[in-house]
Chain A
């Protein structure tokens, strides 16, 4: 391992550790995400009140819409935190690689959203009376790849919308159009597994392609965004 990659890794893990410790002590992002998606579950269950067969068809969409909105809550906070005390400016002038900061933020958000999903999935099962008909293990790669797709672009666009006038509003406006193929893959894949009608492999491959393409693009362009002056 050469020096450049070891410094990338060490900076990444130092930033990640700092972010997780901050989140562990404040629990800002996780609490707001949890409460937000709980509200979405409850409101949707009031407005639809589906039978078990129907819920299998719609719940894939509901789950991912809830997680998408909740992830935006966390993503909006991820860079705003660094603006206080000019941390981001200090980072910009430091010799640490920009991609290390980006990777740390993505990994941090990924962990938070995965924790949220692990906590919320039982609630969805209870509220919508779910019983999976397809191979349930396929939900795990779908969830991991789908979450990565949301978080990697979300972190990038959150850094982008930091420079705009109304940054909280800007993030979903930038993120949602680009995320359409990923959301389609997640929703259709989850529905395919829940109903067991058709295989979900195609959607897993689609999400994997999406992840590879956009992770590469984010890593290639993040330095430009961070240093854009």
Chain B
């Protein structure tokens, strides 16, 4: 375990250095935006990583809520399977394909994305039983907030020279990312301020509320015209294949980095809870032994 961590750290450091070199030196300069565009190699991978982590948090929270009751677990399982089946079938319906054409997404891409949901759900449920689900949720939320912060900071730095404004209020992607960030910050605040055994249940419920909220935010701003550049991957936009290559290298290295941080954080949480449990057991044992001593004179009095 320890050796694996060190090996992965070295690999991640090499990858990040190589990706940084590729992004800053090798990548072709964009024609209209110039060097500012290079922030794209950090902005987009951070965004993808953050969304992936928030998604993991959501899945782990649903699993955690479901694991409280066997009946609920069965219902959740069938709902997830039903969503996957309906999603895959819907992706190949002519009506949906018409809609997809305008966004430039391929039906197979949509079907794969929908299929990811049950795969994630069952794998996470299998690998992280019981309390570990909650630890995974808190790890993913914390690291996700960090990556989301990177997105929200690099965005305006890029936007200022290109759009001429730091922040476009009412833009769909900006606002939904900001709201997502706010929701997860409130999630972390909730976890910080409630240290009881109920925290895990409350936090999992809040995560589900947050996940329900994000599509509504997206929908609510949907009919304002959006200023954010359309997604270049699968969005019908064109991108230099070299740029795409470097972007993907950056994403892989960011994913490795996120995985590394999550690993460390998860391990910390695991150890922290073990220590807490041992403390609790110790004080219970102490209380039992002092209680036994205290009861001795009482017994004498009684006799």
Listed in ascending order, the chain A residues whose CB lies under 8 Å from chain B are: 153, 160, 163-166, 170, 173-174, 176-178, 180-181, 184-185, 202, 206, 209-210, 213-214, 217, 221, 224-225, 228-229
- A180–B209 Cα gap in the complex (Å)? 12
Collect the chain A residues with CB atoms within 8 Å of residue B194's CB.
163-165, 170
- Decide: B186 and A217 in contact? CB cutoff 8 A: no
Given A173-B186, A225-B201, CB of A180 within 8 Å of CB of B193: no
Partner of A224, one of B201, B210, B217, B221: B201
Q: Please, which residue of chain B has its CB at the minimum distance from the CB of A202?
A: B223
Distance from A166 Cβ to chain B, minimum over Cβ atoms (Å): 6
- Decide: A213 and B68 in contact? CB cutoff 8 A: no
- Decide: B212 and A174 in contact? CB cutoff 8 A: no
Q: Please, which residue of chain B has its CB at the minimum distance from the CB of A166?
A: B193
Collect the chain B residues with CB atoms within 8 Å of residue A170's CB.
189-190, 193-194
- Decide: A164 and B210 in contact? CB cutoff 8 A: no
If A160-B205, A202-B223, A209-B216 are given as contacts, then 11 extra A-B residue pairs at C-beta distance below 8 Å, sorted by A number, are A174-B190, A177-B179, A178-B186, A178-B209, A178-B210, A178-B213, A181-B179, A184-B217, A184-B220, A206-B220, A213-B216
Within 8 A of A (CB), among B180-212: 182-183, 185-186, 189-190, 193-199, 201-202, 205-206, 208-210, 212
Given A164-B190, A174-B206, A202-B223, CB of A210 within 8 Å of CB of B216: yes
Distance from B199 Cβ to chain A, minimum over Cβ atoms (Å): 8
Collect the chain B residues with CB atoms within 8 Å of residue A225's CB.
201-202, 205
Collect the chain A residues with CB atoms within 8 Å of residue B221's CB.
184
Within 8 A of A (CB), among B266-300: none
- Decide: B216 and A229 in contact? CB cutoff 8 A: no
Collect the chain B residues with CB atoms within 8 Å of residue A214's CB.
209, 212
Collect the chain A residues with CB atoms within 8 Å of residue B186's CB.
173-174, 176-178
State the total of A-B contacts with C-beta under 8 angstroms: 84
Collect the chain B residues with CB atoms within 8 Å of residue A229's CB.
197-198
- A6–B245 Cα gap in the complex (Å)? 63
- Decide: A180 and B213 in contact? CB cutoff 8 A: yes
Partner of A217, one of B68, B185, B209: B209
B219 interface hit (Cβ, 8 Å): yes
- Decide: B182 and A221 in contact? CB cutoff 8 A: no
- Decide: A217 and B208 in contact? CB cutoff 8 A: yes
- A170–B190 Cα gap in the complex (Å)? 7
5 CB-based A-B contacts, threshold 8 Å: A170-B189, A170-B193, A178-B213, A180-B217, A181-B216
Collect the chain B residues with CB atoms within 8 Å of residue A163's CB.
194, 196, 198-199, 202
Given A180-B217, A206-B220, CB of A213 within 8 Å of CB of B179: no
Q: Please, which residue of chain A has its CB at the minimum distance from the CB of B68?
A: A224
Partner of A160, one of B179, B206, B210, B213: B206
B53 interface hit (Cβ, 8 Å): no
Interface of A is mostly: helix
The 4 closest A-B pairs by CB, nearest first: A164-B194, A228-B201, A228-B198, A177-B182
- A221–B207 Cα gap in the complex (Å)? 12
Distance from B225 Cβ to chain A, minimum over Cβ atoms (Å): 14
Distance from A112 Cβ to chain B, minimum over Cβ atoms (Å): 23
B65 interface hit (Cβ, 8 Å): yes
Q: Please, which residue of chain B has its CB at the minimum distance from the CB of A174?
A: B186
- A229–B194 Cα gap in the complex (Å)? 13
Given A160-B206, A174-B186, A224-B65, CB of A185 within 8 Å of CB of B220: yes
Collect the chain B residues with CB atoms within 8 Å of residue A209's CB.
216, 219
- A180–B198 Cα gap in the complex (Å)? 26
Distance from A42 Cβ to chain B, minimum over Cβ atoms (Å): 28
- Decide: A173 and B189 in contact? CB cutoff 8 A: yes
- A170–B216 Cα gap in the complex (Å)? 23
Collect the chain B residues with CB atoms within 8 Å of residue A180's CB.
179, 182, 213, 217
- A115–B179 Cα gap in the complex (Å)? 31
Partner of A213, one of B201, B212, B223: B212
- A184–B185 Cα gap in the complex (Å)? 20
- A160–B201 Cα gap in the complex (Å)? 10
Distance from B164 Cβ to chain A, minimum over Cβ atoms (Å): 24
- A206–B193 Cα gap in the complex (Å)? 32
- A176–B210 Cα gap in the complex (Å)? 11
Collect the chain A residues with CB atoms within 8 Å of residue B185's CB.
177
- Decide: A181 and B213 in contact? CB cutoff 8 A: yes
Collect the chain A residues with CB atoms within 8 Å of residue B205's CB.
160, 221, 224-225
Collect the chain B residues with CB atoms within 8 Å of residue A224's CB.
65, 68, 201, 205
Collect the chain A residues with CB atoms within 8 Å of residue B223's CB.
202
Given A178-B183, A217-B209, CB of A228 within 8 Å of CB of B193: no
- Decide: A217 and B212 in contact? CB cutoff 8 A: yes
Collect the chain B residues with CB atoms within 8 Å of residue A176's CB.
182, 186
- Decide: B220 and A181 in contact? CB cutoff 8 A: yes
Within 8 A of A (CB), among B237-270: none
